Amino acid sequence: MADTTATDEPATDALPACQARTGDALAARYRHVRARSLALAAPLSPEDAMVQSMADASPAKWHLAHTTWFFELFVLGRDPDYRPYRPDWHYLFNSYYQSAGPMHARPARGLLSRPSLAEVLAYREAVDDAIDEAFARDALDPVARQVLLLGTHHEQQHQELLLTDIKHALWCNPLRPAYRDDLATAAASSSSPSAWIGFDEAVVEIGAPAWPRATEFAYDNESPPHRVLVPAHALASRPVNNAEYRAFIDAGGYREPALWMSEGWARVQAEGWTAPLYWDEDGERAFTLGGMRVIDPHAPVCHLSYFEADAFARWAGARLPTEAEWEQAARPLAVIGHFADDDRLQPCAPAATGRGLAQMFGDVWEWTASAYGAYPGFRTLPGSLAEYNGKFMCGQWVLRGGSCASPRDHLRASYRNFFYPPDRWQFSGLRLARDEQ
Amino acid sequence: MADTTATDEPATDALPACQARTGDALAARYRHVRARSLALAAPLSPEDAMVQSMADASPAKWHLAHTTWFFELFVLGRDPDYRPYRPDWHYLFNSYYQSAGPMHARPARGLLSRPSLAEVLAYREAVDDAIDEAFARDALDPVARQVLLLGTHHEQQHQELLLTDIKHALWCNPLRPAYRDDLATAAASSSSPSAWIGFDEAVVEIGAPAWPRATEFAYDNESPPHRVLVPAHALASRPVNNAEYRAFIDAGGYREPALWMSEGWARVQAEGWTAPLYWDEDGERAFTLGGMRVIDPHAPVCHLSYFEADAFARWAGARLPTEAEWEQAARPLAVIGHFADDDRLQPCAPAATGRGLAQMFGDVWEWTASAYGAYPGFRTLPGSLAEYNGKFMCGQWVLRGGSCASPRDHLRASYRNFFYPPDRWQFSGLRLARDEQ
Amino acid sequence: MADTTATDEPATDALPACQARTGDALAARYRHVRARSLALAAPLSPEDAMVQSMADASPAKWHLAHTTWFFELFVLGRDPDYRPYRPDWHYLFNSYYQSAGPMHARPARGLLSRPSLAEVLAYREAVDDAIDEAFARDALDPVARQVLLLGTHHEQQHQELLLTDIKHALWCNPLRPAYRDDLATAAASSSSPSAWIGFDEAVVEIGAPAWPRATEFAYDNESPPHRVLVPAHALASRPVNNAEYRAFIDAGGYREPALWMSEGWARVQAEGWTAPLYWDEDGERAFTLGGMRVIDPHAPVCHLSYFEADAFARWAGARLPTEAEWEQAARPLAVIGHFADDDRLQPCAPAATGRGLAQMFGDVWEWTASAYGAYPGFRTLPGSLAEYNGKFMCGQWVLRGGSCASPRDHLRASYRNFFYPPDRWQFSGLRLARDEQ
Amino acid sequence: MADTTATDEPATDALPACQARTGDALAARYRHVRARSLALAAPLSPEDAMVQSMADASPAKWHLAHTTWFFELFVLGRDPDYRPYRPDWHYLFNSYYQSAGPMHARPARGLLSRPSLAEVLAYREAVDDAIDEAFARDALDPVARQVLLLGTHHEQQHQELLLTDIKHALWCNPLRPAYRDDLATAAASSSSPSAWIGFDEAVVEIGAPAWPRATEFAYDNESPPHRVLVPAHALASRPVNNAEYRAFIDAGGYREPALWMSEGWARVQAEGWTAPLYWDEDGERAFTLGGMRVIDPHAPVCHLSYFEADAFARWAGARLPTEAEWEQAARPLAVIGHFADDDRLQPCAPAATGRGLAQMFGDVWEWTASAYGAYPGFRTLPGSLAEYNGKFMCGQWVLRGGSCASPRDHLRASYRNFFYPPDRWQFSGLRLARDEQ
């Protein structure tokens, strides 16, 4: 189980042992995840928690409230006698569930000074108390327990978004303030050259058994397991790093249209891209959640759009891996790497490694060559939750592996993240692939 | 002391006569105005103070900081030894003074979670202390004293904007929260029919002597005094009220293109206008700084664009007054009416009046038929302050008389306010005029 | 009468004498104006006649059809038995008369490949025949004759727009093709320095008696005559010329925000303005209706926005004249100058002049300091024609005097043209004014 | 000869077998294709040929010129002594080849009144003469011959676009004029119910051998051939027809968000979609290249976006086929159906069929469930032609099979067309697929 895995290794916000003993791992996971959100929001002032720097991002306060609304509506709300905490907040904190009723305009989330952060935290507490009490009186039926588990994964997704959104918001402030001043600075680092790891042509099975029929949690979009013919190819042993990406810049990569998708080149021109998001003008320092920091040449390059990842790969005489190639390679590996749990919140150079694939999990989400779509035989979850993933299967690309801002126990080899090709505010990088004869 | 007054007594904030006689009426005015801003901001949470609901509006926090920056740059900064409080804030709080250097993008003011409201309040205190100290050591030369006086009028303008901007911001919140819950509700009201007050053709002098050569303060755009030939005409004895405006709505005013300027009609169509801003759908209640309130039929209609004021006048077989007509009529009158000082912050029905012009000052800004432009012989203030008014003399229309959100001692008969024809978020209404033979 | 004036001096499209003798000057004027439109369209291919290069402009074919529709609807259509030429064209060629029914979207006029130019020319012929026949049987009542006269002035306005619109359209073509290859090139020119002509303070009457009660034609917006107090001032003896404007450019006029209205500066930045419209990059040549031509330093500068005219005047220590100042000065002058009738279609250097005001009429429309608004006592024309001028009295500025693209017999001292401050595609320039003590 | 055929006979433009055996089938194909473009443009006036109704579409004149430019630049231009016909047209008619230099802005193609249609036709003739002459002196090296063959396929693509673009352009005209008045009306039609044709799981090879190494022409994006594991599934025996689609409309398909991709639903709301493009309000008639025509319930539904095709499939309890599924099914089939060669230019009901798949080719392009991307091992063509297909592999979806506006000899089972999900102006419909156990 995911939360068991989480206790294998120490982490700053590991689950207190006493709770794990109470017999209900789900309750423990719930408390753990909910506490983690609070910890992430703790460095933020009420004003920080309200900033929405672009339509794609949301205020931290909204993340805190929306994840709570999810539990309130879909878990507590299953009880016909449940009385909503504040019925008029439903409209504010519904994200995109058309079947749950109308919703506030997404780009206007940053205008909500009320409810205040304090009121949202009180809302969290009230819902947590109600959930706790439901656990205590064993009032959660199997479906409620499933949705509650889904809700913890949902909240973990929002934890990562909270970090990427606040990073963007603070970067929009000309003062460039830090989210936290106490984040560890990377030690002097190094990295070995990237090596090619070859794979023969094979029919492989990817995807996860459909939860909740299967016991292991996975999102609907990871199912069903299915066989794919994967051609002969090779994967780079580690993600592309900042030094390698700088060589691309120095070689004129941002000035050569032949390297780019047509839409990508239009974007480069329209927005004046000359480097990854957050790099300063001379390419020496970049904005991090700890403020402006010197760029580590050995750390994975980060905050790339799909267009940049794709152009770099073309320049390097390679390509991006497909998601099947990525998943085949990741399946046998443990979920080891740099995650949000490590409290650095910035990709790091690989630890001295032996042979084989490094940094498949954590550090940076890896753009793949795969457009986000339905697996053969895909079925959405029932009811409102059908809207969770399926309706976004158009125009986005799959990223794999998680990042330095992902909770470790949220990840797995079959996990499919997805963003639009111009998006750069996620911790997104790339790993090279190439065809083999 | 003025600021003591501001906290001791709710009603009048007029400057006690004794102070004007004592050592420094300017210092008293400064303290009074500065304290009033704090009082206006007091009901706001840090989050409320950060909302920017549209590019035309600014967050309350920004108003508090910008007005302070004005004193710091233009008064304290005259001393070459002055060390700025936070040099990197200059960029944030410069509004539009190109000659003072580059500035933050206006529509992005709402993204500034830092500095916090608390930091901005500390900034105010530091600048106030420095000004106080300058007064104490008599370190302000005549020019500094002039700019400081200008700064107090500047801050009073922002006090009104703070109120209109926060009203719009809170209205954008689907919860429709009140700015203050303790605002007085209007008593049962009545109003007598509007009468026409006639004026013969005359050459009249309007405008104010150019300050600071003249001792009475006036903005540069009110000068120089000059003669204007005003044709025979009549003015309505009071502003148009809500009942009269509702008759216009009921008569199909918003559906008849012949009543509207071409641009106005386009706006009606594009934005679906069917009533003044802030009215609810059935025309029974309107959003106020005290929340949703029943519309008083006898109170002046408010939150109209120029287009609506003009269309109403055409429907009524009348027209808007020119600013010369308005000023000629207002000159002999005392500045009496409902102002921000009255702490109601909503236009009120006229007190039982005798004959003559009522409600010329206060309640609602009155749209005029005059495009905002330079008077003959107009000269801007010197230096950066040349940008104060002159560069906006294009595309806007003059409004006269002040509103329920204006400080009374900020107004005078020659005062020219100006906004764009579609603007509706100010406390803006109209008084009718007509040609006479 | 206007058409008599037109025969004072020879012009390429002068009215044949035989027609003037037939006894109906109105019929002669009608034929003259209608023939002139055809002559202006003659150099255009069907494809040229269809281009619409921006929403503000219209295709030449549309001008030809719309002016015809005006006569058909408002003159022929007065007869209840009249059967429209093509009822489904009404929707296409109604410009902005809401009271005449719905209309095609203005920015989509360039998409109308049908009706073809040939069909539109046949439409013109049919309507002309019907009008001729109505003249022949004396079937036009007084109102019809009035509207017909208005229609000829309306068509003359469109003749100028046809020229300015096709100029813009051809300039948008990277090949920069000429409208006509046979336009005369200006001879070597010279101009004397501009002198100041002083005017004392005075109450002057401006405006034209309201037509059709008055016999002389004037648009409704020129009426009624009314007295204005004009302060002491001086006017420049001639418009600003290209050499003078180049000095402004060379002095950094386009880089100094202090010279500009706030909106003007925003426009300079957004559109990268560094010279008048149609100038090439090195300021040596400009696009004309005859193709790219060397800029004559002595010719009036042309294709300026209000913002540029205003900024130049400020840089020169002067200002723009008000429309009352302009009209007072123009009233005693004959309508002499360079007009469309001269078939050069480009402003020319002044002829060697004596003292006094030169080039008040023709060459370039002169931006004034006056926002376009209603005169005191203004009344629109009755019926649909109320929409002709009145509904545009918002946001535009008055220009006076006509241009090298105006028909001479269309102009008079009281004529008020109006455009938006950023508009540059008209033949628009400026004359300086200044305050006098 | 092909071009003789094209003018002598209206119907089939298949290449006579005798020619393929003679000296130069390529020359014959060139003449045939070039003549076909002229025939398609013949019904258009110079004005029709200039309309550009949206940025995605191009004027017919531009299609005629651009396809000629392609031959001039890439075939004739290989000869270093070749002197371009009009060097300044290169900028106008380069579509998107960054490596060939800068180009005119795509949305401004409709502003080019010059060169005229007549000049473009002369340009075509001159280039055709030069190509003929090169054939005659056997001056085309193997690479030139390859590019010339590519150019004929390129021109055939533009032939279809010419039809879809002019259809959209004429529909934008409120008069709704026909492209041709002589198109055959469909006879009374019928269609049998759709049946499911099952396919077992299999590893299949799709794709075409890489041309020009392979002798059969195919675009680079169809290569290399590669194996794909296709799951068990079934395909509908024919495309969805208008009657079936009307049932979806009647069942509220356009009002039920659960059926739509999130982006699709946003588009439905923003654009007010309630039916396929070109349907009139009551769903009885639709705009065709022959004008408004009654909708044939048995003909394939057409002018759907991907969003609509996908929503219909979801409503029907099915899905769209993947391109591998489609190609596997199409491979054994002859290219039989309703094509542009049939001169009806509107999808038709299926001929009375036996069992098996009907209408796989022609009538309507079939949206697939496959995002447009690179096949494993994909290589672009060398040089500028690398830009032909590869740089568009982002954000678009694959359509298969060709339409009633495609030339038959342009199609094949491996052919991949691609458009953006909201695009509706192509002849695009759908065929259902479903998973099998």
Digit-coded pLDDT (tens) for B5-33: 333 333 333 444 333 334 589 999 999 99
**Pick among C47, C92, C123, C179 to test the D interface (most D CBs inside 10 A):** C47
Q: Per the CB < 8 Å rule, is B47 touching A108?
A: no
Cα separation, C55 vs C105, whole angstroms: 10
Q: Is D271 helix (H, G, I), strand (E, B) or coil?
A: helix
**Residues of chain D contacting residue C91, judged by C-beta atoms under 8 Å apart:** 174
Domain at C2-171, CATH from 1.10.1660, 3.40.30, 1.10.1200, 1.20.120: 1.20.120
Q: What is the pLDDT of residue C384?
A: 86
* Residue C279 to residues C158, C283, C301, C302, Cα–Cα distance (Å): 25, 6, 11, 10
Q: What is the pTM of this model?
A: 0.93
Closest CA–CA distance from residue A404 to any residue of chain B (Å): 25
Q: What is the mean pLDDT of residues B75-83?
A: 95
Q: What is the pLDDT of residue D382?
A: 87
The string of pLDDT tens digits covering residues B218-238 is 999 999 999 999 999 999 999
Q: Per the CB < 8 Å rule, is B229 touching C227?
A: yes
Q: Is D251 helix (H, G, I), strand (E, B) or coil?
A: coil
Q: What is the pLDDT of residue D185?
A: 76
Q: Is B147 helix (H, G, I), strand (E, B) or coil?
A: helix
Q: What is the mean pLDDT of residues B33-51?
A: 98
Domain boundaries, chain D: 2-171, 196-435
DSSP line for C239-299: --BHHHHHHHHHTTGGG-GGGS-HHHHHHHHHHT--SSTTB-TTSSEEEETTEEEEPPTTS
The string of pLDDT tens digits covering residues D249-299 is 999 999 999 999 999 999 999 999 999 999 999 999 999 999 999 999 999
Q: Per the CB < 8 Å rule, is C229 touching B228?
A: yes
Tell me which H or E stretch contains B150.
helix B142-171
Secondary structure of A381-428 as H, E, C letters: CCHHHHHCCHHHCCCCEEEECCCCCCCHHHCCCCCCEEECCCCCCCCE
pLDDT of B120 above 70? yes
Q: Nearest by CB to C172, which of D88, D108, D175? A: D108
Q: Nearest by CB to D203, which of A229, A387, A435? A: A229
Q: Per the CB < 8 Å rule, is C258 touching B386?
A: yes
Q: Nearest by CB to D111, which of C49, C108, C172? A: C172
Q: Per the CB < 8 Å rule, is D96 touching A231?
A: no
Beta strand A433-435 with A233-236 is antiparallel
pLDDT of C1 above 90? no
pLDDT band at A354 (very low <50, low <70, confident <90, very high): low
Mean pLDDT taken over chain D: 92
Least confident of A11-20, C250-259, D52-61: A11-20
pLDDT of B117 above 80? yes
pLDDT band at D347 (very low <50, low <70, confident <90, very high): very high
Q: What is the pLDDT of residue A383?
A: 86
To which residue do tokens 């395909």 refer?
A: D235
The string of pLDDT tens digits covering residues D194-207 is 999 999 999 999 99
Quick one: tokens of C1? 């009468």
**Pick among D310, D394, D396 to test the A interface (most A CBs inside 10 A):** D394
The string of pLDDT tens digits covering residues A126-176 is 999 999 999 999 999 999 999 999 999 999 999 999 999 999 999 999 999
The string of pLDDT tens digits covering residues A86-103 is 999 999 999 999 989 999
**Pick among D111, D112, D116 to test the C interface (most C CBs inside 10 A):** D111
The string of pLDDT tens digits covering residues A381-419 is 988 899 999 999 999 999 999 999 999 999 999 999 999
Which amino acid type is present at position A312? F
Cα–chain center distance at A242: 21
Mean pLDDT taken over chain B: 92
The residue of chain B nearest to residue C99, with distances taken between CA atoms, is B258
Closest CA–CA distance from residue C110 to any residue of chain D (Å): 8
pLDDT of C303 above 90? yes
Q: Per the CB < 8 Å rule, is B98 touching C257?
A: yes
Query: For the structural domain made of B196-435, what CATH number should be given?
Result: 3.90.1580.10
Closest CA–CA distance from residue B292 to any residue of chain A (Å): 16
Q: Per the CB < 8 Å rule, is D260 touching A306?
A: no
Chain B, 73-102: which have a CB under 8 Å from a chain A CB?
A: 88, 91-92
Q: Per the CB < 8 Å rule, is C47 touching D46?
A: yes
**Residues of chain B contacting residue C369, judged by C-beta atoms under 8 Å apart:** 373-374
CB pairs under 8 A between A and B: 79
pLDDT of C9 above 60? no
**Pick among A52, A53, A114, A123 to test the B interface (most B CBs inside 10 A):** A114
List subunits contacting chain C, requiring 3 or more Cβ pairs under 8 Å: B, D
Q: Nearest by CB to D114, which of C53, C115, C175? A: C175
Q: Nearest by CB to D263, which of A203, A307, A395? A: A395
pLDDT of D140 above 60? yes
**Residues of chain D contacting residue A306, judged by C-beta atoms under 8 Å apart:** 394
Percent of the residues in chain B that have a pLDDT greater than 70, as a whole number:
94
pLDDT of C295 above 50? yes
Q: Do chains D and B touch (3 or more CB pairs under 8 A)?
A: no
Query: Does any CB of chain C come closer than 8 Å to the CB of residue D48?
Result: yes
Q: What is the mean pLDDT of residues C273-282?
A: 97
**Residue with more model confidence, A20 or C193:** C193
pLDDT band at A287 (very low <50, low <70, confident <90, very high): very high
Q: Per the CB < 8 Å rule, is B98 touching C373?
A: no
List subunits contacting chain D, requiring 3 or more Cβ pairs under 8 Å: A, C
Judge whether B2-171 and B196-435 match in fold: no
pLDDT band at B353 (very low <50, low <70, confident <90, very high): low
Q: What is the ipTM of this complex?
A: 0.92
Q: What is the pLDDT of residue D375?
A: 96
CB B419 within 8 A of CB B397: yes
Which amino acid type is present at position A358? A
Quick one: tokens of D261? 């991709």
Q: Per the CB < 8 Å rule, is A50 touching B113?
A: yes
Quick one: tokens of D404? 């009633």
Q: What is the pLDDT of residue C113?
A: 97
Q: What is the pLDDT of residue A1?
A: 26
Q: Nearest by CB to B104, which of A53, A115, A174? A: A174
Q: What is the pLDDT of residue D12?
A: 35
Mean pLDDT taken over chain A: 92
Q: Nearest by CB to C96, which of B98, B258, B262? A: B262
Least confident of A29-38, A242-251, C390-399, D13-22: D13-22
Q: What is the pLDDT of residue B352?
A: 65
Of B91, B141, B81, nearest in space to B112 by CA: B91
Q: What is the mean pLDDT of residues B326-337?
A: 96
pLDDT band at C352 (very low <50, low <70, confident <90, very high): low
**Pick among C62, C113, C167 to test the D interface (most D CBs inside 10 A):** C113
Query: Does any CB of chain C come closer than 8 Å to the CB of residue B319?
Result: yes
Q: Per the CB < 8 Å rule, is A113 touching B172?
A: no
pLDDT band at C354 (very low <50, low <70, confident <90, very high): low
The string of pLDDT tens digits covering residues A18-64 is 343 345 899 999 999 999 999 999 999 999 999 999 999 999 999 99
Q: How many CA atoms lie within 13 A of A85 on its CB side?
A: 26
**Residue with more model confidence, D7 or C127:** C127
Q: Per the CB < 8 Å rule, is C391 touching B203?
A: no
The answer for residues whose C-beta is within 8 angstroms of residue D279's C-beta and 6 or more apart is D285, D286, D295
Query: Does any CB of chain C come closer than 8 Å to the CB of residue B188?
Result: no
Query: Does any CB of chain B come closer than 8 Å to the CB of residue A113?
Result: yes
Q: Nearest by CB to D257, which of A98, A392, A421? A: A98
The answer for residues whose C-beta is within 8 angstroms of residue D32's C-beta and 6 or more apart is D2, D3, D5, D6, D13, D15
The string of pLDDT tens digits covering residues A226-243 is 999 999 999 999 999 999
Q: What is the pLDDT of residue A375?
A: 96
Q: Is D154 helix (H, G, I), strand (E, B) or coil?
A: helix
pLDDT band at C273 (very low <50, low <70, confident <90, very high): very high
Quick one: tokens of A281? 């003008």
Mean pLDDT taken over chain C: 92
The string of pLDDT tens digits covering residues D148-175 is 999 999 999 999 999 999 999 999 999 9
CB B127 within 8 A of CB B76: yes
Query: Does any CB of chain D come closer than 8 Å to the CB of residue C396?
Result: no
pLDDT of C104 above 90? yes
Q: Nearest by CB to B88, which of A108, A113, A175? A: A175
